[in-house]
């Protein structure tokens, strides 16, 4: 058994039955390929690698064979690998990662002088999806010839992934972004063309310059819903308060700290659906002290109620899914409170959960709609799928 088989479908079966050809060109970013290929295998992809000679100077074919379990193509032979592996849609996706400006320009102009460009020619001629993750200095992106070549390939249906911008530097797309786009390109895009806003995280109401009133929400559920919606083809935006989880770098994110800041953003909502797992404060300090209140003396803290955000959101969007967190209630009591919120704010659904049984990666909840109370159990990713399944029926 090849070592790569030990990690096959280790994380999910999302890519089971899918064949991904990874084309590696001569960028130093090729060192990122090993981890990305392994991640694709962990989700069930059958990965093959094709390399240019320049790429072989940066990463060895042996290391790529270890990563995917197949001997890489480094030269085209009498077996016509570019035909047998790409034609007749035997491959589901050609992912060129990283792609130099040289390779991008050759593909755009039909130049076939490396194994990778030959694979690209066959893929484009056979209707096989092509994704390219460019890796070049920022000044090369603004070169008129390179810009024209990028635009030409986009007009042919090529999907460009990245780059990530870090000031004046352009970095190749992250492993997470490439894997997410692979999911998106190879799955049924039930939410394609739909704009979905996820509002998550926790509010943080300042007492003074150091102390805040907040809660223990991690923001994990919000991130999982955003990821799953992205994978289903939606145009996703994530508005995030405080959180303790890593945020996806491939989804547009806006940050807020207080409920009042979030309220000021509501008028910008113009989405098909809004999902609100955010854990927002009910009260905020009447006044915020300047500096740090001395710790060697007592003080009185006066609280005022903050505006309820859900009715404001509902006024901007017809499909809103709220959340209700409670503690120490029976299942029926929890469902009843969720239904009361559903009816009060005219929501499409409310996801109710008992905070006493919520874990970091798993949860148990009730999806309350106008017609049913449905139990949801499993990982937060699985519960996110159930919530989005409901969204799909209503959109």
Please determine, for residue 318, whether its predicted confidence score (pLDDT) is greater than 70. Answer: yes
**pLDDT tens digits along 100-158:** 999 999 999 999 999 999 999 999 999 999 999 999 888 888 899 999 999 999 999 99
Contacts 24+ apart (CB under 8 A), 209-213: 209/289, 209/290, 209/291, 209/292, 210/292, 211/292, 211/293, 213/281, 213/283, 213/284, 213/285
For residue 81, what pLDDT band results from cuts at 50, 70 and 90?
Answer: confident
**pLDDT tens digits along 8-30:** 999 999 999 999 999 999 999 99
**pLDDT tens digits along 203-248:** 999 999 999 999 999 999 999 999 999 999 999 999 999 999 999 9
**pLDDT tens digits along 49-61:** 999 999 999 999 9
Q: Report pLDDT for 261.
A: 97
Peptide bond into 98 cis (omega under 30): yes
Give the domain 3-186 fold: Rossmann fold (3.40.50)
Q: What is the average pLDDT value for the chain, to the nearest integer?
A: 93
Cα 192 versus chain centre, distance: 15
Q: Report pLDDT for 361.
A: 64
Helix, strand, coil share of the chain (percent; to 5): 35, 25, 40
Q: Indicate the burial class of 83 (C-beta count within 10 angstroms; 0-12, 13-18, 19 or more).
A: middle
Q: Report pLDDT for 89.
A: 58
Distance from C-alpha of 308 to C-alpha of 320, rounded to nearest angstrom: 14
Q: Which CATH superfamily is domain 195-394 in?
A: CoaB-like (3.40.50.10300)
**pLDDT tens digits along 160-172:** 998 887 766 778 9
Nearest to 285 by CA among 269, 302, 298: 302
**pLDDT tens digits along 249-287:** 999 999 999 999 999 999 999 999 999 999 999 999 999
Task: Assess whether the region 3-186 and the region 195-394 belong to the same CATH fold.
Answer: yes
Please determine, for residue 88, whether its predicted confidence score (pLDDT) is greater than 60. Answer: no
**pLDDT tens digits along 322-364:** 999 888 888 899 999 999 999 999 999 999 988 876 556 667 8
Q: Report pLDDT for 327.
A: 86
Q: Report pLDDT for 62.
A: 97
All structural domains of the chain with their residue ranges = 3-186, 195-394
């Amino acid at each position: 058994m090849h070592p790569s088989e030990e990690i096959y479908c280790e994380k999910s079966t999302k890519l089971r039955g899918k064949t991904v050809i990874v084309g590696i060109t001569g960028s130093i970013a090729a060192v990122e390929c090993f981890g990305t290929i392994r991640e694709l295998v962990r989700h069930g992809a059958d990965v093959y690698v094709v390399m240019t000679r320049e790429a072989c100077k940066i990463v060895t074919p042996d290391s790529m064979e270890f990563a995917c379990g197949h001997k890489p193509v480094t030269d085209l032979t009498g077996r016509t690998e570019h035909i047998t592996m790409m034609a007749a849609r035997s491959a589901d996706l050609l992912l060129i990662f990283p792609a130099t400006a040289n390779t991008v320009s050759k593909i755009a102009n039909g130049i076939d002088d490396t194994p990778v460009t030959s694979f690209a020619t066959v893929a484009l001629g056979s209707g096989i999806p092509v994704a390219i993750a460019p890796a070049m200095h920022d000044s090369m992106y603004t070169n008129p010839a390179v810009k024209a070549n990028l635009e030409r390939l986009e007009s042919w249906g090529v999907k460009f992934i990245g780059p990530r911008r870090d000031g004046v530097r352009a970095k190749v797309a992250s492993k997470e972004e490439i894997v997410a786009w692979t999911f998106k390109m190879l799955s049924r895009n039930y939410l394609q063309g739909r704009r979905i806003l996820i509002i998550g995280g926790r509010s943080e109401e300042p007492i003074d310059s150091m102390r805040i009133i907040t809660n223990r929400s991690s923001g994990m559920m919000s991130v999982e819903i955003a990821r799953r919606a992205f994978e289903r083809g939606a145009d996703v935006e994530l508005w995030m308060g405080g959180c303790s989880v890593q945020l996806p770098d491939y989804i547009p994110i806006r940050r807020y700290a207080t409920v009042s800041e979030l309220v000021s953003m509501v008028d910008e909502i113009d989405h098909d659906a809004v999902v609100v797992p955010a854990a927002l404060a009910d009260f905020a300090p009447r006044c915020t002290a300047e500096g740090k209140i001395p710790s060697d003396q007592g003080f009185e803290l006066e609280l005022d109620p903050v505006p309820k955000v859900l009715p404001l959101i509902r006024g901007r969007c017809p499909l809103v899914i709220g959340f209700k967190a409670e503690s120490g209630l029976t299942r029926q009591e929890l469902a009843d409170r969720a239904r009361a919120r559903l009816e009060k704010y005219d929501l499409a659904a409310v996801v109710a959960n008992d905070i006493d049984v919520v874990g970091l990666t798993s949860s148990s909840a009730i999806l309350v709609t106008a017609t049913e109370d449905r139990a949801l159990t499993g990982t937060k990713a699985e519960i996110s799928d159930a919530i989005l399944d409901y969204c799909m029926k209503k959109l």
